[in-house]
Chains A and B, each alone.
Chain A
Amino acid sequence: MTAVAENKPAYDGKVLDLTGKSGARAFKNTLATVLIVLAFAVAMIPLLWILFTVVSKGYHLLLSADWWSQSQRGITVRRAGGGAYHAIMGTLIMALITAVIAVPIAILGAIYLVEYGKGTRAAKVVSFMIDILTGVPSIVAALFVYAVWITVFGFNRVGFAVSLSLVLLMLPVVLRSTEEMLKLVPDELREASYALGVPKWKTILKVVVPTAFGGIITGVMLGLARVMGETAPLLILVGYSKNINLNPFNGFMGALPTMINQDRTELALPNAADRVWAAALTLILLVLALNLLARLIARFSAIKSK
């Protein structure tokens, strides 16, 4: 602030110009503006570059109907043809199982934090644990499930094990966003419901949750988008299969990330490279679609704040 005082123009009989700035300050201001705009430009380059690379290299395979309806059964790395049906279905099935397990726990956990445990020590412990879970790397989640599912129980590597590890990654995302949404529900709504003699649990189920529903769905979709792109659990917990396998409890399963991983060492072969980029584009489209859908829902179902 002293700089400001020192730079106050002395009155010398001319018109007092309060808008003027000393050269150094104006220069610093311009420099900062340039740097900040530059930082933004630097951040945008990789996004546009990645999207351009994947789209331009992958789009032509996506135009054929085979890509969406065929598997890679019997297609060797040098040959063209086949599709990604097995991998798309695998990704969707594992994500669906993950959501079925994670979403109820996440929503109930958020209800506990906001409606029941608020301010208690127990809630703080739960909240801290969720923070920990948010930071658990996917490879550690996968190792944990490997330790339980395969080392301790002796089961096989199957799609369901992947879903279990993805639950650990999806749970905190959905729980936190649901918690934020429930917090946004105005207390007046709860009070009005209590005043009518509605018990607490019914108030939560019929008033609070429906009010926050759009936001909860948004959280679920963002959580799904996160787990669909995960590769590490797939590498450890299920083998890649070129055939269509829709049973998450038996046998290896294809998935888009492992389909990319399968041929990534053979990128010198044009057909393999085409497949890799097409699978990458499919995966990006899936994840981006979920993200955009989530944002649209969020926009149109926002809780009106006073």
Chain B
Amino acid sequence: MSSPDGTAPPDRPDGTAAEEPRIEDLVHEDAGPTPRFGGLASEHAEHEAAAADAEVMTESGVEDAGTTTAPVTPTETGGKLELGPVGHLGDRLFGGLARGSGGLVVLIVAFVGIFLLALAIPALIDDKSNFLFSRIWEPGGDQPRFGIAALFYTTVISSIIAMLIAVPIAIGVALFVTYYAPKRLAAPVAHAVDLLAAVPSIIYGLWGILFFAPILRPVINGLSTALGWIPLFEKPPGDNVGVVFTASVVLAIMILPVVTAISREIFAQTPIAHREGALALGATRWEMIRLSVLPYGRSGVVSASMLGLGRALGETVAVLIILSVPNGNDPWNSSIFAGGETFASKIANNAAEFDSPEKTGAYIAAGLVLFVVTFLVNSAARIIVDRSAPGTKRPRRNRRAGAATEGASA
């Protein structure tokens, strides 16, 4: 969320930076609330909270929705409204608890990073080969040699293919739910897609390798025959279906609900004036979508895809079950029609090997890289959301929360 730094007057209640007025600002459904008494009450409470808290709160800039539009902003008030110390102790205790929980969340995330780093560093120092560029994985022993290049490649390529498959379908489903399905059908359809997210990943894995992979065999053979001259599509000998491509398709199914839910929310928010304007000019339904809905929702869809990508990168058990682990003697194969291991499946596959700190350290180092990669992907998604136009703020929450809100407000 980009915050105005006090210089730009906030023109929208949700605190997005002021920019040149556009149609959607003028006709947006939730145009600013009327000035309310809430300004005073919450101002008082916030002054009290500020006094109780050691942290310095910035009084300028964004306050909550009530105060920004209140006739007098807190910074301009000479003397503040004194209502007496009502419930001071209770407020301090409860406010402290709430702040403590907020702080705890920050601590937890910091600890995850610090602990993984602390345990990974000794193993990394002992590593006799290049951690980033080596494809060997032989931790433990006197001469531990391990690198993440192969793991990184398989993780990223499988997730990207999953994203490429899932996003177009997700956009289609989201458009179907928002603008094509009959009103009565839209909600059940949306819930049905959400149910895909409720299926545990181990069941995806089992179904994927036992029932889905066999029907992918002709696709794999066809693609590798047609495009086999590209190393990426080269088919190694044998009739193996537990390959990266299969894992990608199953991953695509698994991230479909995430991408769909966020895209759906964005598409539904396209200002009605844009849509009806297009229709009034004689646009067909598809032209209306292409001219108003898709441009409005573009950044939201991009960030939804990134969140889906993040989900795919970290998926463990489904990939673990589907991907066949290549033999130690086989040469490394970059094809998506070969087996392989991702960060997550490697760690889960070798959980029994965590017997010495050196070995564990190697796996923790791999986990740390996975953490950093998903962190970067998710942050990129957030930044895209935050930078984008007003109205595209809503997908800040995850899929489930979004679905819950939607269900509750229906």
Cβ-based interface call for A73 (8 A): no
Q: Determine whether A88 belongs to the interface, using a CB cutoff of 8 Å to chain B.
A: no
Residues of A near B207 (CB, < 8 A) are: 49-50, 53-54
Number of B residues contacting the other chain (C-beta, 8 Å)? 129
Neighbouring A residues of B175 by C-beta, 8 Å: 36
Q: Decide if A226 touches B404 in the complex (CB within 8 Å).
A: no
| Distance in angstroms between the alpha carbons of A138 and B311 in the assembled complex | 10
Q: Is the CB of B401 within 8 A of A219?
A: yes
Q: Across the interface, which residues of B come within 8 angstroms of A18, CB to CB? A: 282
> Nearest chain-B residue to A126 (Cβ)?
B102
CA A107 to CA B402, docked complex, whole Å: 17
A276–B202 Cα distance when bound, in Å, is 11
For residue B153, CB closer than 8 A to chain A, the reply is: no
- Residues of A contacting B402 with CB < 8 Å? 180
The reply to whether A173 and B401 contact each other, CB–CB distance below 8 Å, is yes
B64 at the interface (CB under 8 A from A): yes
Among B217-225, B227-235, B312-320, B331-339, the one that faces the other chain is B312-320
A46 to B321, CA, bound (A): 18
Interface residues of A in 14-36 (CB under 8 A from B): 18, 21, 25-26, 28-29, 31-33, 35-36
User: 1/0 per residue B373-410: CB within 8 Å of A?
Assistant: 01101110010000000000000111011111101111
B397 touches A180 (CB 8 A): yes
Q: How far is the CB of B320 from chain A (nearest CB, A)?
A: 8
A-B pair count, CB < 8 Å, reads 374
Q: How far is the CB of B404 from chain A (nearest CB, A)?
A: 5
Contacts of A291 in B (CB 8 A): 194-195, 198
Q: Which residue of A lies closest to B313 (CB)?
A: A137
Q: Which of A64-72, A76-84, A228-236 contacts B (4 or more CB under 8 A)?
A: A228-236
Within 8 A of A (CB), among B221-278: 253, 256, 260
How far apart are B288's CB and chain A's nearest CB, in angstroms? 10
B197 to chain A, nearest CB (A): 8
Tell me whether B36 is interfacial, beta carbon within 8 Å: yes
In the assembled complex, how far is the CB of residue A214 from the closest CB belonging to chain B, in whole angstroms? Answer: 7
A104 to B201, CA, bound (A): 27
Partner among A39, A108, A225 whose Cβ is within 8 Å of the Cβ of B176: A39
Given contacts A36-B180, A40-B189, A305-B409, contact A231 B317 (CB under 8 A): yes
CA distance A106 to B402 in the complex (A): 16
CB distance from A293 to the nearest CB of B (A): 12
- Contacting residues, chain B, for A201 (C-beta < 8 A): 87, 90-91, 93-95
State which of B42, B196, B348, B398 has its C-beta within 8 Å of the C-beta of A46.
B196
Residue of B nearest to A183 (CB): B405
Query: A177 and B397 in contact (CB under 8 A), knowing A108-B101, A122-B55, A139-B348?
Result: yes
Q: Which of B102, B291, B403 has the most CB of A within 10 A?
A: B102
Q: Is the CB of A200 within 8 A of B397?
A: no
B130-138, B141-149, B356-364: which lies at the A interface? B356-364
Instruction: Tell me the interface secondary structure of chain B in the complex.
Output: helix
Whole-angstrom distance between the Cβ of A33 and the nearest chain B Cβ: 7
Given contacts A108-B101, A120-B58, A283-B203, A232 and B348 within 8 Å (CB-CB): yes
Q: Which size bracket describes the interface of A in this complex?
A: 35 or more
Beta-carbon nearest neighbor of B119 in chain A: A147
| B321 nearest in chain A by CB position | A264
Indicate if A272 sits at the interface (CB-CB under 8 A): no
The verdict on B23 contacting chain A, using a C-beta distance below 8 Å, is: no
A133 to B284, CA, bound (A): 43
* 8 A-B pairs in the complex with CB atoms less than 8 angstroms apart: A21-B284, A33-B285, A126-B106, A139-B367, A143-B363, A146-B354, A235-B317, A283-B202
Residues of B that sit less than 8 Å from A by CB: 1, 3, 15, 36-38, 41-42, 44-45, 48-49, 55, 57-58, 61-66, 86-88, 90-91, 93-95, 97-106, 108-109, 111-112, 115-116, 119, 168-173, 175-177, 180-181, 189, 191-196, 198-204, 206-207, 210-212, 253, 256, 260, 281-287, 289, 291, 307, 310-311, 313-317, 321, 343-344, 347-348, 351, 354, 357, 360, 363-364, 367, 370-371, 374-375, 377-379, 382, 396-398, 400-405, 407-410
19 extra A-B contacts, CB within 8 A, seeds A127-B1, A137-B344, A175-B105: A25-B287, A33-B180, A43-B169, A47-B193, A104-B101, A115-B98, A120-B58, A131-B378, A132-B375, A140-B367, A180-B402, A180-B404, A181-B408, A184-B405, A187-B38, A232-B344, A257-B202, A261-B202, A302-B408
